[in-house]
Structure 1
Amino acid sequence: MTRLAACQYAIELHKTWDAYVDHLQGLCAEAAEAGAQLLLLPEYAGLVLSGLLPVQQRGDLKASIAGIQPLIEPWKALCERIARRWGVYLQPGSLPVQDSDGRYRNRAWLFGPEGELGHQDKLMMTRFEREQWDIAPGDGLKVFDTQLGRLGILICYDNEFPMLARRLAEGGADLILAPSCTDTEAGYHRVRIGAQARALENQIAVLQSPTVGLAAWSQALDENIGRAGLFVPPDHGMPKDGVVALSTELDPAGSQWLICDVDLAAVRRVREQGQVFTRRDWPEQFERSL
């Protein structure tokens, strides 16, 4: 059994580096002390670093992401220290990173007890990212080998595209991490429905972590709503609705962890002994239909 922690992450203002360090260390310690082996924070959780910038800069959409670039390496080092200290896997959400071509990409790193394991970029841009923020798509999907099993990362909107999760599943991923950031209830449900559909289609587990709360100081993260959840295929030995766990509030006061357990071996058995074989039958039928 693997214990997972998905955070409903409240977007709060931390005006100094020390205040932010205390916040992130304390938050992660809470989940680790509850026995979580993997901690997931939401899309753009790292953009909270813009609270350290001068008031005018942190309130400017594009200036805020330019301003946090010098903070990314110290932030990564902090995340790595947390993962090593607690012996956990930490996906601390994502943040915009400027690459050597000058373009920004929405990037999510994964850290483990042994250090940094790599990163996954968001591939499908929302209208906000493309039209207002000029965030560029990444390239390619990665499967991460961990002591808990093989996993992949699909950032928010990426979960609404079946072939992305399919590629990760074919690469051996048993668990997909779905950090998300949505400012409407409809947006939250789009990502959640996508996550549940990907779990059904591929007979795998999907863990979702959302941003929550109001942050008037940030144009990028001003409104946030969503629930944390763990989803699996509804089948033998699994919950009848495929929902292993779901946080109770759409917009809690402050950050809250959803702590939940999943037996990835039992999820794998569904592919061999389930009532249906969606993972196997989809490509076979698709090829016959062409």
Structure 2
Amino acid sequence: MRAALFQSCTGIDPDANATALVAAIEAAAAGGADILFTPEMSGLLDRDRTRAADHLADEAHDRVLARVRDAAAKAGVWVHLGSLALAGERHDGRLVNRSFLIDDAGAIRARYDKIHLFDVDLPTGESWRESSAYAPGSQAVVVDTPWGRMGLTICYDLRFPDLFRTLSDAGATILCVPAAFTVPTGRAHWHVLLRARAIEAGAFVIAAAQAGAHADGRATYGHSLVVDPWGDVLLDMQGENGVGFVDLDMKRVAEVRARVPVLTHRRKIAPATIA
């Protein structure tokens, strides 16, 4: 599989963001990629929720999703659209953070709503409360592709190995982690967590990320990564935005899992007792 990753600095104008996504899809196709991976919140990144609300729609009416699907079909490449913020999907009025796997005919093959929401106060003074606007998903998702079974996650999900175990137990050999990591948490934990998830599952981890100073005032870490099943980093885009490419040998999954067969050694463990 030849994969392309789009590292972006998504802004507050969905039409401009959609244009950048279409250009990335075209660049991926020109570079011979089979599939393009994009970051979390590829359609809109705006911490001003009042301003953002004017641009949000449900899946059927989201113009960024429509343009990406059209571009994927025209270019003949698959797209893992890292995520979009969608409104009107729930009766309680909360938003969802949803990723999409789109095939080379523009059809949606899978959807995943982010399960773990980022509610933290960082030492830098940054405070994030995703749960004040977003509803969590409840269902792990895997999907079959021409290159292997893909497990879908989003950003903060990375810190919860039980989700990744569920995905690899379901046969995932490729784990997707689109993200918009903050700079302090990225510096501390991004590389080590992605490598750990790859090693634990004996799977490829593909993590397209946001990078740079955004129009809404936030800064994101970048370093879109591809990690192989042994934990080796095959691609690190550092802070440079654009489209990067990497070739993946899917036979590597079976080789690593035969070498250290952790999946077959997994055991169900009873709840801990207090001694």
Q: TM-score range by the shorter chain?
A: 0.7 to 0.9
Residue 287 of structure 1 deviates from its aligned partner by 6.6
C-alpha change, 1:233 and 1:21, in structure 2 (3 Å) is: closer
C-alpha change, 1:196 and 1:109, in structure 2 (3 Å) is: same
Indicate whether 1:39 and 2:28 are aligned: no
Question: Aligned AA for 1:38?
Answer: I
Q: How does 1:208-247 map to 2 (within 5 A)?
A: 208-215=207-214, 217-218=215-216, 222-234=218-230, 242-247=232-237
Counterparts of 1:91 and 1:188, CA distance in 2: 25
Residue 23 of structure 1 deviates from its aligned partner by 2.6
Identity of aligned residues (%): 25
Unaligned runs of 5+ in 1: 51-59, 235-240
Unaligned runs of 5+ in 2: 120-127
Given that 2:213 and 2:220 are in contact with CA atoms closer than 8 Å, whether structure 1 keeps it comes out as yes
Indicate whether 1:125 and 2:117 are aligned: yes
Instruction: Give the alignment's TM-score, normalised by structure 1.
Output: 0.81
Counterparts of 1:10 and 1:223, CA distance in 2: 9
Greater fraction helix = 1
SS at match of 2:210: strand
Give the equivalent residue in structure 1 for 2:157.
158
Given that 1:231 and 1:244 are in contact with CA atoms closer than 8 Å, whether structure 2 keeps it comes out as yes
Question: Aligned AA for 2:90?
Answer: S
Return the match for 1:86 from 65, 70, 75: 75
Question: Aligned AA for 2:136?
Answer: P
Instruction: Give the alignment's TM-score, normalised by structure 2.
Output: 0.85
Counterparts of 1:23 and 1:4, CA distance in 2: 18
Q: How does 1:175-190 map to 2 (within 5 A)?
A: 175-187=174-186, 189-190=188-189
Give the equivalent residue in structure 1 for 2:24.
27
Given that 2:7 and 2:243 are in contact with CA atoms closer than 8 Å, whether structure 1 keeps it comes out as yes
Deviations 1:139-195 (CA, angstroms, capped at 9, x unpaired):
101111112221021101101111101111111111011101022143354243222
Give the equivalent residue in structure 1 for 2:249.
263
Counterparts of 2:270 and 2:242, CA distance in 1: 44
Give the equivalent residue in structure 2 for 1:63.
50
Give the equivalent residue in structure 2 for 1:96.
85
Residue 288 of structure 1 deviates from its aligned partner by 12
Counterparts of 1:288 and 1:265, CA distance in 2: 36
Counterparts of 2:157 and 2:197, CA distance in 1: 11
C-alpha change, 1:107 and 1:129, in structure 2 (3 Å) is: farther
Residue 263 of structure 1 deviates from its aligned partner by 1.1
SS at match of 1:4: strand
Counterparts of 1:244 and 1:20, CA distance in 2: 27
SS at match of 2:205: strand
Given that 1:203 and 1:270 are in contact with CA atoms closer than 8 Å, whether structure 2 keeps it comes out as yes
Count, aligned residues: 260
Given that 1:45 and 1:94 are in contact with CA atoms closer than 8 Å, whether structure 2 keeps it comes out as yes
Question: Aligned AA for 1:42?
Answer: P
Indicate whether 1:141 and 2:132 are aligned: no
Give the equivalent residue in structure 1 for 2:124.
none
